[in-house]
Amino acid sequence: MNASTHGKLIGASLGPGDPGLITRRAWEVLHSDAHWTYPIRKKGDDSYALKIALRTGLALPAEHTPLIFPMTHDTEILAKYWLRAAHTVLDVVHAGRDVVFLVEGDASTYSTFGYLARSVRALDDSIIVETIAGVPSYHAAAAHFGVPLAENDDTLAIVPAAYGVAMVERLLADFDTLVLLKVKPLLDDIIDLLQRRALLDHSCFIEKAGAPEERVVRDVMSLRGTKVNYLSLLLIRNPQRIRGEVVRGCRKKSTAVMEEAQ
């Protein structure tokens, strides 16, 4: 089949949970005749991304396909599922139909969509892939709390908490704001660190941001010993950081240009 008659693969970022954060472009794609696909962890599971789409009031299209991406770090196992999902997508796009893959949060940030897109391109590099940007969970969380992620010359780090408490402590030397994603396995250890560094009052927790079951906790210490969801994060402001000198050559250059223009 000529490549021009193929459909394309679209990664539609839907934001963290509130359907009001879906972009106009993603909304257009949801209303198109594209074939819906969405990630699940195992057969029969619910899809968080699909729930966001259905929360808009849209009905599930007659033609839709869940794609299995198991929760494992074994790349050999994952590669088999990526390949299987890619073949499923190609069957549809080769028939001339667009495929939309529903993504919670943003498709470019810790998303399964990147693996799917690469697998599709590896099998057929003529397929057009479109990525629709979305609102990440930490942007929604910062807006909810009224906490700036970064101001002026602030530094910002966004990392999975799985790198460990030692890594988090090292980051505190260089960053004014830390966003710790997927904090569930290490939450108590992170709370201990925040207490030791006197940062509890500068931290806030959010789980399933924007979803009906959203949980917001400002008293982070109260979470000690409790269970939290996989889709949870901590925002940590770090006012104690000792800042070094900032190179401001770009600002001087732009000022000089403005003066010349006057």
Q: How confident is the model over 160-204, as pLDDT tens digits?
A: 999 999 999 999 999 999 999 999 999 999 999 999 999 999 999
Read off the pLDDT band of 2 (50, 70, 90): very low
pLDDT of residue 23: 97
The distance in angstroms from the start CA to the end CA of the chain is 60
Q: What is the DSSP-derived secondary structure letter of residue 57?
A: T
* Structural domains in the chain plus CATH codes: 3-132 (3.40.1010.10), 137-237 (3.30.950.10)
CA 131 to chain centre: 13
Give the residues across from 15 on adjacent strands.
105
The alpha helices in the chain, defined as continuous H runs, are 24-30, 48-54, 75-93, 113-123, 137-145, 165-171, 187-196, 249-261
pLDDT of residue 244: 76
Whether residue 154 has pLDDT greater than 70: yes
Q: How confident is the model over 76-107, as pLDDT tens digits?
A: 999 999 999 999 999 999 999 999 999 999 99
Judge residue 21's burial from the number of C-beta atoms within 10 Å of its C-beta, 0-12 exposed, 13-18 middle, 19 or more buried: buried
Q: What is the mean pLDDT of the chain?
A: 92
Distance CA 224, CA 221 (A): 6
Q: How confident is the model over 138-151, as pLDDT tens digits?
A: 999 999 999 899 99
